[in-house]
């Protein structure tokens, strides 16, 4: 099958750390416009999978394609310009800087491309600055954080700090947004806000979203596609309804051996 229809495509991706197979022969295809969740018990290999996709680490075997291009072994700094942005499990924000300046740092990846690059090329640095600021303002409005735009991020609640990190990733104008445990540590209301933002990010901006998530509520509510990892292997891949009914998934979450729940007759 041609890989053209997929935004991201992993073929036989494995990662070995010393004697440990953190990932083994992962095949995964994510279509443009999907919300795809990666789930699995602790240590299943989810973060390692994100590290492969964002080229933070090279795979031990297999290959990855992004927008049809082979990105296997590319340096991580090449990915934002290719249209990939990421948030991290541990908050990655500049706590002493304001909300606005955190979001503006996300523009750096774009500075030599698109409208900003064109403005810089013609020597119009000031115009580039204005364009960056306008784009950041638009993101601040989209994420409903106008009233806190000039506050240092460290003074905000955890949920709002995560929202700022999301804003900085959006400022990179990605085609693919990788969200690593976005709602962990958030209360119900903050989680619902994030779910709504993720849906809007896909609907209004056409951004494909991949998320690692332990919160099954948000996974089942907003994902089109769920891939389940366990001990470095993909044990299920399908719609939320398909994977949640899959015996291997039920067994993995209950800590039982594969085939222990509702095995095929």
Ligand X SMILES: Nc1ncnc2c1ncn2[C@@H]1O[C@H](COP(=O)(O)OP(=O)(O)OP(=O)(O)O)[C@@H](O)[C@H]1O
Task: Rule CB under 6 A: say whether 76 interacts with ligand X.
Answer: no
**43 touches ligand X by CB under 6 A:** yes
The nearer residue to ligand X, 46 or 234, going by C-beta atoms, is: 46
CB of 232 to ligand X, least distance (A): 7
Cα 124–125–127 angle (5° rounding)? 70
For position 246 contacting ligand X by CB under 6 A, the verdict is no
Neighbours of 254 (CB within 10 A): 10
Burial class from Cβ neighbours inside 10 Å (0-12, 13-18, 19+) for residue 163 reads buried
State in angstroms the smallest separation of the CB of 45 from ligand X: 4
Contact call for residue 25 and ligand X (CB under 6 A):
no
Tokens 């991290």 belong to: 88
Q: Which of 136, 219, 15 is nearest to 210 (CA)?
A: 219
Which residue of 40, 62, 106, 240 would you call a contact of ligand X, by CB under 6 A?
40
Please identify which residue in 46, 175, 225, 234 interacts with ligand X, judged by CB under 6 A. Answer: 46
Q: Judged by CB under 6 A, does residue 44 bind ligand X?
A: yes
Q: Provide, rounded to whole angstroms, the least separation between the CB of residue 24 and ligand X.
A: 11
3-class DSSP state of 43: coil
Q: Which is nearer to ligand X, 45 or 174 (CB)?
A: 45
Residue 177, both tokens: 């947004």
Q: What is the chain's Cα-based Rg? A: 19
Does position 83 interact with ligand X (CB under 6 A)? The reply is no
Residue 179 and residue 219 in contact, taking contact as beta carbons nearer than 8 Å: no
Smallest distance, Å, CB 120 to ligand X? 38
Residue 141 CA to residue 254 CA, distance in Å, equals 42
Does 230 engage in binding with ligand X (CB under 6 A)?
Answer: no
Interacting residue ranges for ligand X, rule: CB under 6 A? 17, 20, 22, 40, 42-48
């Amino acid at each position: 099958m041609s890989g053209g229809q997929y935004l991201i495509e992993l073929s036989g991706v494995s990662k070995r750390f010393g004697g440990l197979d953190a990932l083994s022969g992962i095949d995964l295809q994510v279509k443009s416009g999907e919300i795809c969740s990666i789930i699995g018990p602790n240590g299943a290999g989810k973060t390692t999978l994100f590290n492969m996709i964002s080229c933070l680490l090279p795979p031990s075997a297999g290959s990855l394609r992004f927008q049809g291009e082979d990105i296997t072994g590319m340096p991580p700094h090449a990915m934002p310009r290719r249209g990939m942005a990421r948030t991290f499990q541990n908050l990655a924000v500049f706590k002493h800087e304001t909300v606005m300046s955190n979001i503006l740092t996300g523009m750096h990846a774009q500075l030599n491309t698109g409208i900003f690059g064109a403005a810089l090329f013609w020597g119009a640095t000031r115009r580039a600055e204005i364009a960056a600021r306008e784009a950041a303002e638009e993101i601040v409005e989209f994420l409903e954080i106008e009233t806190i735009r000039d506050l240092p991020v460290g003074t905000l609640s955890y949920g709002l700090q995560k929202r700022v990190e999301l804003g900085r990733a959006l400022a990179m104008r990605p085609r693919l947004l990788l969200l690593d445990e976005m709602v962990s540590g958030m209360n119900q209301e903050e989680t619902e806000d994030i779910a709504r933002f993720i849906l809007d990010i896909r609907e209004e901006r056409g951004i494909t979203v991949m998320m690692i998530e332990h919160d099954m509520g948000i996974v089942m509510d907003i994902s089109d596609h769920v891939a389940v990892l366990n001990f470095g292997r993909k044990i299920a891949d399908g719609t939320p309804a398909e994977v949640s009914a899959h015996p291997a998934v039920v067994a993995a979450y209950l800590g039982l051996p594969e085939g222990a729940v509702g095995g095929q007759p």
